[in-house]
Amino acid sequence: MFNDIQANGAQVLASSLQGNSTLLSLRLSGNKIGRGGGLELASMLQENCALQELEVADCDLDTSSIIALIIMLKKNKALCSVDISRPLLFSHQEEWAVHCSKMLAVNSSLMELHLGRMGMTDTGIEQLTEGLGRNNSLRYLDLCSNRVTRDGAFHLAMMLKQNRALEILDLSSNQIGDGGAGYLSKAITCPRSTLKELSVCRNNITSEGLLLLAQAVKSSSTLTHMYIWGNHLEDPVCQAFKELISSGRLHPEQTDVSPYEVDGHVFLAEVFQSLRKPVYNIDCNVQRNGNKRKDFTE
């Protein structure tokens, strides 16, 4: 990663991996391989059936190379973790989201997908959730630093009521506000929800929405991790999260806030903890049989 590898270097790597059956993880993030390099990797992944993890974040991929990689995931049955965050997308049509939705509807191997800094709007989220509603394998979805608002959170909440696989959702650095927090709170407490970890840091949520999320944590039978720093942490919110933590419902190591008192008033301090990245790890000491995949860590 971050080694000044460009399109020609990506072509060499793609060629060497065409028939490779041993390499499990390829992390190229930060190398500006651009459109040409992205297309070469997509072509290689049509043949390679061993690679399980691919990271090409911040690689200056364009719309065509992103779409090529997504379409490849319709057929590739080996990849379990993919990061295509922070590409260079100049179109506002979000064509890639349509292709991603169609891919997720049929893909049965992908367990972790990072789509941070994609410029995704509520329209893109709506398209994406159509496929997610039919997906049974994805367990970690990263949507951080996009342009998701209340309406996008609504579509995600509707999806969470249908999807029986997703366990980790990263919505940090968006703009879902109180309305979006309310939609997610209802989805979290839905009997069908399997969500275990949620990050809504830096989403312009006030006491109204944060108190709904606190109540959802208390009521949920599955949610164990909640990250809220960067929102409006007023007195009622500080008190609610203090009670969650002191009661043992929210473990101190599974949130990013810690309560303290000054002159009888409760405040929350930031704790530098966040969603585990990545959570999907390869055990290279285990002999692989056929298409044996990595385990999702607890």
* Sign of the C-alpha dihedral computed for residues 250, 256, 260 and 262 taken in this order: negative
pLDDT digit string, tens, across residues 177-213: 999 999 999 999 998 889 999 999 999 999 999 999 9
Domains and CATH numbers, the chain: 91-296 (3.80.10.10)
Ranking 62-66, 142-146, 248-252, 279-283 by mean pLDDT, the lowest is: 279-283
pLDDT at 292 over 60: no
Assign 48 a pLDDT band (cuts: 50, 70, 90): very high
Q: What is the pLDDT of residue 90?
A: 83
Mean pLDDT of 14-22: 94
In 30-97, which ranges are E strands?
Answer: 53-55, 81-83
| Percent of all residues in the chain with a pLDDT value above 70, rounded to a whole number | 93
* Cα–Cα distance, 42 to 65 (Å, whole number): 8
Note if the bond before 278 is cis, omega within 30 degrees: yes
Q: Which residue has the higher pLDDT, 274 or 222?
A: 222
Assign 282 a pLDDT band (cuts: 50, 70, 90): low
Q: What is the pLDDT of residue 291?
A: 45
Q: What is the pLDDT of residue 260?
A: 97
Q: What is the pLDDT of residue 284?
A: 44
Q: What is the pLDDT of residue 47?
A: 93
Mean pLDDT of 84-91: 92
Exposure class string for 11-32: b at 16+ Cβ within 10 A, else e: bebbeebeeeeeebebebbbbb
Token couple for 99 = 């292709």
Do 119 and 95 contact (CB within 8 A), yes or no? no
Q: What is the pLDDT of residue 280?
A: 61
- Residue 94 CB coordination number (10 Å): 21
Assign 222 a pLDDT band (cuts: 50, 70, 90): very high
Mean pLDDT of 25-47: 96
Exposure class string for 118-151: b at 16+ Cβ within 10 A, else e: bbbbbbbbbbbbbbbbebeebbbbbbbbbbbbbb
Token couple for 18 = 């065409």
Q: What is the pLDDT of residue 298?
A: 44
pLDDT at 297 over 50: no
pLDDT at 279 over 60: no
| Percent of all residues in the chain with a pLDDT value above 90, rounded to a whole number | 87
pLDDT at 248 over 90: yes
Assign 176 a pLDDT band (cuts: 50, 70, 90): very high
Mean pLDDT of 35-60: 96
Assign 92 a pLDDT band (cuts: 50, 70, 90): confident
Q: Mean pLDDT over all residues of the chain? A: 92
